[in-house]
């Protein structure tokens, strides 16, 4: 019965529902894993429509009086798309740290020329970058990243910000994106530093051996040593890497929600409409 009432309200407020669906689709098209070309476009549109249906009761735009097919409505659509793109793009920046960490020590391992197309990140990526990217995606699924993406990212954004908030808080949004780019390289260095430092010591040791025993072909012997040492380190540090990946992902979601609080109205945990949306999602999943 609750779903029937929501459906009637959606039909009455079709322009507002379209704005919410546009935000959801823009986020899906730019968010990690969901933006992959291997996912059919029909599935992305359907997911955006369902997300808009589930979150419609708690959206700020549902009470707007909108005149569709006007210039103001088109500007609102563009603004909602920008909000979705900002959410997805920021999470993409967070995930780029894992791929970048693999790129940092791929050259030291001897895999610098082993770039192939990565279907997850949609770019040319070294083998170790693809491996860490795949691990990060598995961790994202393990820690219920999709639930956090749609409830903590998309649904909370509908509760707190709209196009007016986007324009008023543009400076804080730019600051968040720039800080995210800076943090990308910082997280990548922290993740790859144990392996990168050990490979540096390995290269230094092989260089000293080549000076002490010039008859040894260090070029042919150094690569197997570096590759073996790197794989042993990856195997030994993988549990710590997974914890670091989880903290980085959770920190990214926390940063987005802090932005919502700063530029929009404070999130109300006991919102009745939000509880209805959570119940719809829970029954379907």
Domain count across the chain = 1
Six token digits for residue 186 = 């910082």
- Tokens 């599935």 locate to 43
Closest CA to 264 of 178, 183, 157: 157
d(Cα 191, Cα 184) in Å, to the nearest integer?
11
Residue 251: name the closest of 115, 152, 156, 158 by CA. 152
| pLDDT for res 138 | 86
Q: Contact at 8 Å (CB) between 87 and 153?
A: yes
Return the pLDDT at 281: 39
- For 216, the domain range is 2-284
**How far apart (Å, rounded) are the C-alpha atoms in residues 199 and 118?**
25
What sign does the dihedral 25-26-27-29 (CA atoms) show?
positive
Q: List per-residue pLDDT tens for the chain, 285 residues long.
A: 555 666 666 666 777 888 888 889 999 988 888 887 778 889 888 888 888 888 877 776 655 555 566 777 788 888 888 888 988 888 888 888 888 887 777 777 766 656 666 655 566 667 777 788 888 888 888 888 888 888 888 888 888 887 877 887 788 888 888 888 888 888 888 888 888 888 888 777 777 777 776 666 666 666 777 778 878 888 888 888 888 888 888 888 888 888 888 887 644 443 434 433 444 334 334
Instruction: Kindly report whether the global pTM for this prediction surpasses the value 0.95.
Output: no
Per-residue confidence (pLDDT) for residue 75, from 0 to 100: 84
Predicted local confidence at residue 110, as pLDDT: 67
Alpha helices in 56-116 (DSSP H): 71-109
Are the CB atoms for 106 and 20 separated by under 8 Å? no
Calpha distance 247→94 (Å, rounded): 11
pLDDT attached to residue 112: 61
Please state whether beta strands 116-118 and 123-125 pair in parallel, antiparallel, or not at all (unpaired).
antiparallel
């Amino acid at each position: 019965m609750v779903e029937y009432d929501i459906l009637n309200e959606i039909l009455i407020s079709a322009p507002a529902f379209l704005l919410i669906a546009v935000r959801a689709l823009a986020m899906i098209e730019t968010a990690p894993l969901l933006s992959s070309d291997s996912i059919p476009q029909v599935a992305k549109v359907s997911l955006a429509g369902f997300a808009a249906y589930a979150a419609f009761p708690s959206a700020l735009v549902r009470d707007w009086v909108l005149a569709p097919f006007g210039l103001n409505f088109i500007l609102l659509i563009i603004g909602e798309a920008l909000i979705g793109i900002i959410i997805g793009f920021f999470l993409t920046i967070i995930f780029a740290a894992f791929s970048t960490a693999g790129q940092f020590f791929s050259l030291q391992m001897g895999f610098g020329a082993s770039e192939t197309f990565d279907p997850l990140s949609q770019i040319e990526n070294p083998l170790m970058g693809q491996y860490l990217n795949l691990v990060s995606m598995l961790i994202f699924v393990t820690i219920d990243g999709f639930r956090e993406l749609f409830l903590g990212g998309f649904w909370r954004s509908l509760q707190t910000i709209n196009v007016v908030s986007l324009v008023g808080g543009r400076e804080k949004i730019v600051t968040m994106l720039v800080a995210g780019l800076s943090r990308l390289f910082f997280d990548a260095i922290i993740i790859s530093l144990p392996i990168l430092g050990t490979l540096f010591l390995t290269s230094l040791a092989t260089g000293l051996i080549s000076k002490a025993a010039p008859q040894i072909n260090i070029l042919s012997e150094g690569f197997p040593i570096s590759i073996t040492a790197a794989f042993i380190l990856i195997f030994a540090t993988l549990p710590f890497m997974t914890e670091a990946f989880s903290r980085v992902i959770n920190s990214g979601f926390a940063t987005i929600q802090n932005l919502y609080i700063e530029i929009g109205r404070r999130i109300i945990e006991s919102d009745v409409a939000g509880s209805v949306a959570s119940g719809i999602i829970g029954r379907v999943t």
